[in-house]
Structure 1
Amino acid sequence: MKTMHLSNEQQTVNDIHDILKAYYKIALKRFTDNVVLQVVERHILGPNGPVRAFSPDMVNDLDEAELMEIAGESFSTVSTRNDLVAQRERYEKALGFAKQAGI
């Protein structure tokens, strides 16, 4: 392996380059955090933001179809739940019979 001898000046340049590269990584992350924080605070949580618009009064004004569109479950989920409830009821009934028979 060959070693490379650098002058003091070149070594200093390399050290400063490494320091600036490390500082740039940290500064870029901090800058990104600041931008995200300002967007959230000013636009999303601000006085005219969507969080303020979503209120109990707004939800009370929605009709049944709009509520189902926003927070409703899909047909397959409802169907699966109904099947599982019916199955559980059959199992509970069978368990009751087994307890009466002393099993």
Structure 2
Amino acid sequence: MPVHAFTMQLKPGFEKEYKRRHDLIWPELQKLLNDSGIETYHIFLDESNLKLFAFQQLKEGHTTAALPQDPIVKKWWAYMADIMETNADHSPVEIPLNEVFELQKE
């Protein structure tokens, strides 16, 4: 199963608000993410530096490449732009992570 892992940066003082917004994720965004092939999507917060670590497992043969062009995703980015570091188009500043280890079942 393909994996997409990356970090993002939360602005200070917005830890609870970030969680609250994700607890209330829009149904249309959740459907879009599921329909795009995202099987699981986890986001973790390192409270010592407000670094967000995101981890997505994708269905075989799927990619998230088309998501940035979707109006729902762009609306979500604009909604989140006030509480995290973003690019000029409001997309979150993402730093991709390369996998260096995977534990396999024997």
Indicate the TM-score class for this superposition, using the shorter chain for normalisation: under 0.3
Richer in helix (by share): 1
More strand per residue: 1 or 2? Answer: 2
Please give the TM-score of this superposition, normalised by the length of structure 2: 0.19
The structure having more radius of gyration, on CA atoms, is 1
Higher relative contact order (CA 8 A, sep 6+): 2
TM-score (norm 1): 0.19
